[in-house]
Structure 1
């Protein structure tokens, strides 16, 4: 390991892997990537059907808990899993490939963020994508990120799609095409029966380059600031403290939880909050950690008459043995795909102009991120509905100046009344699907919210006890030009030199869908901006030297 690098990337998640690949591609600029977690080279990561195991892992998962809210989940904190491994959350997620809606990105641009409209972002989605369907106006087929179609393995997912159409909702064969609305099957970041996250698609192909250094299990303590300039990074590896210097830039890609925490640990944030924890304020930036947004999620749980779903019972595990053998021998079958095969994007009210809720169908009783094994041991199915564009915002704050102490995560769910109504209306729309004839052979009793919950208040009171999230935290280092913005539209930290934040924390507002594909596209765009600036500086210096 050297002591100086052109670029230092903190975090080898969805964004960090892209940056590592693109910035080292010229073979000359030295790039160091620091990842707190271990390598992703394990069957637990590569096997798509094993992703639920990460809910019980602290080796590959930060496994945070949000600040408890006495009105939600009987006061138990909401579980916040985040990837702690090469590839970040793209190595532990459900592998769904979703971009969101055109309006999401056009809204970013309308806030004054030049170059972030949908047409600008579409270029980077296509650049990243290798879609098995081929290229067209919305898709690319030459990028590193493999996007596939897989046959649905569970009958209940076919039933769900049929029921959605019976309930009057349109079928949609491509949620990332010209129209997002409808019911259908998701595409996945899976290749040849194995996960194709950011580590496999971007980082591994680049790791043979001599100018790229990747360190795992390297826990960053802080970014060293000198006169409003990021100059170095201090980290711990094997019990020893190391400091490495950046000749060009430090790129923070820790995600919406860890990135604001590290900025604050480095003295960048609200002065009063930093002083409270005994941290010298290097740069007063009050927006750090604020504007936290997440897809708050409610579930409808239904007991099933049939036994062709998934259970955590002894019998359910034994029924998976043939599929395990099939996967080991051929990389096919139920373990070759995530259990979330079907879903949809719907309007919570018919008069809306675009979807504001998303559905994830599961052929099992899924609550508390799958950690409720007692519930999951029963035969049943669940469908989860989330608020796509929540109005409520929370924050990520420090609990301590100790970098080993997890931050305080306060989602502040339902602070805005509209989120409550969207979620309740979403449950009503979902119930139309679950009541359709296609489910007649499966439907037993509704465990939650329960058929007795009919009024808005009754539904809300019941779903609050099973509230969860879809693992899409964003916004805590938001892009913009207002007093609470953290980065500008080049993702440079306001008032700082040589420091950018490149990950989902820069999103000013949450996009209408899963966040992995957008995060990769954001990093593709960031890499272009960084290399473009470098090229301008190189030519300028050459001209000055000649003169």
Structure 2
């Protein structure tokens, strides 16, 4: 007979780890977590700057690729997703930023009743222990450790001063009263190590007798009794196993795999399902639709001196030794940084009022993409993305084979506003580079190059060079309309006993990094489930 649990959670990522921890606090509940990947105990998953190696490591990341996209000059975007305990929180760039308060008010306006900023703030606070100054906006007793930047870099400081010279204000806490302005990014750090959803939530909770984690378990389909989800099947060690859920099955597999599992189980666009020989349980056209992501454009300048550039430091044995000692003895220095050191949120001329529509990230290094060698010249990078992209893509199965990757259509830059904002972003970044505080530090614009001047040339360069920031969301949209995939309690429409709890439920992408709001989604979902 199949084993039975009260809750079966698919995915041990950010959302799944939080859910498992909170639901298993009730010792009467039996909770099972299924993870398609393996252990997160590798050194590069623990070292903060190790994200640079992990994101494209097929041992811990599912290396999806998007379909050819005219918006990015016909290129296929890499779409890596965490395939490891802790999910993408074990391989991401560690940046902890909630997004603008208005992001969540937008959710409520779009039909996600009960998800305004006022509603979600208590859940944000209960997630974290922030090491900075106390604030009504911050938490002090949560499992996740959030730290201010622990690295100083003179070139980054000069960039911040140059940004001030353009009239931009300082912001000491992007997770405080406002995200507008420039400052230093906060990171999920526990001492000298990464603090992921696994280390902060799941692994401590696994000491409980009522919580079990099974790794290398690939879900192949959901099981139903009439209109109720009663369990699922998963492949493990060459065999297919079945488990039952007395209360609920919860998909926390992310914005690619959650809609894929629903479609494989007969919940999705009817024509798509029939085309692949899958019986239609619920005709739900929006399953897999509404895919949103932040498209990032990197600009690179070559510094006149390499004294403040990590490209040069990593090739200097003495500098490397100092980095190691700073990390080992004081939990500081370049080995503790994430995907951005300084930056912030600014307004282009297309911004709605004073609400920022551009996010900037700065690193004193340059590289083609994570996992490849740093450039041999003294590079300095300012990346930017549009906070509120209108372009939408989709995720759709390509067969009834649960091991086949779905078709991911990214459809970047498909609206005029998206193109306009990204062009304007280049001009804003260049303006900062040319301010007195920074202009004397660099000698050459490498990407996109000083010869790229007109709007047409800038857009062409963006299409050729822009990349994902790995922020895919929205493919199981939450709302109070019947077309939405899940209702505001995250219950899948058309069936009982089934929820989706991950970044796929976002009605609209948040303005900045998506990991922090995904923690919050799971924390709020667990509270709603426990009240039932």
**Cα RMSD after superposing both structures:** 1.9
Alpha-carbon offset, residue 370 of structure 1? 2.6
CA distance in structure 1 between the partners assigned to 2:474 and 2:11 by the alignment: 17
Tell me the SS of whatever aligns to 2:142: coil
After the TM superposition, which of the residue ranges 248-257 and 126-135 deviates more from structure 2? 126-135
Alpha-carbon offset, residue 70 of structure 1? 4.7
CA distance in structure 1 between the partners assigned to 2:142 and 2:324 by the alignment: 31
Q: Confirm or deny that 1:5 pairs with 2:5.
A: yes
Judged with a 3 Å threshold, the aligned counterparts in structure 2 of structure 1 residues 159 and 329 are, in CA distance, closer, same or farther, namely same
Q: Confirm or deny that 1:336 pairs with 2:336.
A: yes
Q: Confirm or deny that 1:60 pairs with 2:38.
A: no
Tell me the SS of whatever aligns to 2:114: coil
Alignment match, 1:355: 356
CA distance in structure 2 between the partners assigned to 1:89 and 1:195 by the alignment: 12
Deviations along 1:329-379, whole A, 9 cap, x unmatched?
Answer: 554432123252111100012863210110111212233x33554x72332
Judged with a 3 Å threshold, the aligned counterparts in structure 2 of structure 1 residues 139 and 225 are, in CA distance, closer, same or farther, namely same
Alpha-carbon offset, residue 155 of structure 1? 2.7
CA distance in structure 1 between the partners assigned to 2:313 and 2:344 by the alignment: 29
Q: Where do residues 433-472 of structure 1 align in structure 2 (5 Å cutoff)? A: 433-472=432-471
Q: Where do residues 120-519 of structure 1 align in structure 2 (5 Å cutoff)? A: 120-307=119-306, 308-311=308-311, 315=315, 319-328=319-328, 331-338=331-338, 340-349=340-349, 352-367=353-368, 369-371=369-371, 373=373, 376-519=375-518
CA distance in structure 2 between the partners assigned to 1:110 and 1:358 by the alignment: 23
Deviations along 1:388-441, whole A, 9 cap, x unmatched?
Answer: 111110001112221111111111111111100011111111111111122234
> Which residues of structure 2 form unaligned runs of 5+?
none
Alignment match, 1:21: 21
Tell me the SS of whatever aligns to 1:82: strand
The question of whether the paired residues in 1 share the 8 Å contact of 2:70 and 2:411 is answered with no
Alignment match, 2:50: 50
After the TM superposition, which of the residue ranges 385-394 and 357-366 deviates more from structure 2? 357-366
Judged with a 3 Å threshold, the aligned counterparts in structure 2 of structure 1 residues 317 and 269 are, in CA distance, closer, same or farther, namely farther
CA distance in structure 2 between the partners assigned to 1:131 and 1:450 by the alignment: 40
Tell me the SS of whatever aligns to 1:327: helix
Judged with a 3 Å threshold, the aligned counterparts in structure 2 of structure 1 residues 312 and 210 are, in CA distance, closer, same or farther, namely farther
Alpha-carbon offset, residue 313 of structure 1? 9.7
Judged with a 3 Å threshold, the aligned counterparts in structure 2 of structure 1 residues 45 and 314 are, in CA distance, closer, same or farther, namely closer
CA distance in structure 1 between the partners assigned to 2:339 and 2:167 by the alignment: 25
CA distance in structure 2 between the partners assigned to 1:33 and 1:76 by the alignment: 36
The question of whether the paired residues in 1 share the 8 Å contact of 2:21 and 2:205 is answered with yes
The question of whether the paired residues in 2 share the 8 Å contact of 1:98 and 1:176 is answered with yes
Judged with a 3 Å threshold, the aligned counterparts in structure 2 of structure 1 residues 453 and 266 are, in CA distance, closer, same or farther, namely same
The question of whether the paired residues in 1 share the 8 Å contact of 2:56 and 2:370 is answered with no
Deviations along 1:38-57, whole A, 9 cap, x unmatched?
Answer: 11112111100111001330
Deviations along 1:256-290, whole A, 9 cap, x unmatched?
Answer: 11111111111110111011112122221111000
Judged with a 3 Å threshold, the aligned counterparts in structure 2 of structure 1 residues 202 and 475 are, in CA distance, closer, same or farther, namely same
The question of whether the paired residues in 2 share the 8 Å contact of 1:339 and 1:363 is answered with no
The question of whether the paired residues in 2 share the 8 Å contact of 1:129 and 1:141 is answered with yes
CA distance in structure 1 between the partners assigned to 2:175 and 2:332 by the alignment: 25
CA distance in structure 1 between the partners assigned to 2:154 and 2:399 by the alignment: 49
Deviations along 1:18-60, whole A, 9 cap, x unmatched?
Answer: 0000000011100000011111112111100111001330011
Alignment match, 1:541: none
After the TM superposition, which of the residue ranges 356-365 and 475-484 deviates more from structure 2? 475-484
CA distance in structure 2 between the partners assigned to 1:55 and 1:202 by the alignment: 21
CA distance in structure 1 between the partners assigned to 2:305 and 2:395 by the alignment: 43
Tell me the SS of whatever aligns to 1:311: helix
CA distance in structure 1 between the partners assigned to 2:286 and 2:318 by the alignment: 51
Provide TM-score, normalisation by structure 2.
0.96
The question of whether the paired residues in 1 share the 8 Å contact of 2:155 and 2:364 is answered with yes
The question of whether the paired residues in 2 share the 8 Å contact of 1:20 and 1:203 is answered with yes
Judged with a 3 Å threshold, the aligned counterparts in structure 2 of structure 1 residues 186 and 51 are, in CA distance, closer, same or farther, namely same
Alpha-carbon offset, residue 322 of structure 1? 3.6
Q: Where do residues 76-87 of structure 1 align in structure 2 (5 Å cutoff)? A: 76-87=75-86
Alignment match, 1:538: none
CA distance in structure 1 between the partners assigned to 2:313 and 2:405 by the alignment: 34
Tell me the SS of whatever aligns to 2:279: coil
> Which residues of structure 1 form unaligned runs of 5+?
534-547
Provide TM-score, normalisation by structure 1.
0.93
How many residues align? The count is 530
Tell me the SS of whatever aligns to 1:482: coil
CA distance in structure 2 between the partners assigned to 1:155 and 1:404 by the alignment: 48
CA distance in structure 2 between the partners assigned to 1:55 and 1:318 by the alignment: 28
Tell me the SS of whatever aligns to 2:55: helix
Alpha-carbon offset, residue 148 of structure 1? 0.9
Deviations along 1:107-134, whole A, 9 cap, x unmatched?
Answer: 1112232211110000100111111125
After the TM superposition, which of the residue ranges 172-181 and 435-444 deviates more from structure 2? 435-444
Tell me the SS of whatever aligns to 1:521: helix
Alpha-carbon offset, residue 467 of structure 1? 1.0
Deviations along 1:60-89, whole A, 9 cap, x unmatched?
Answer: 1112111122552x5331111211111111
CA distance in structure 1 between the partners assigned to 2:362 and 2:492 by the alignment: 39
After the TM superposition, which of the residue ranges 321-330 and 31-40 deviates more from structure 2? 321-330
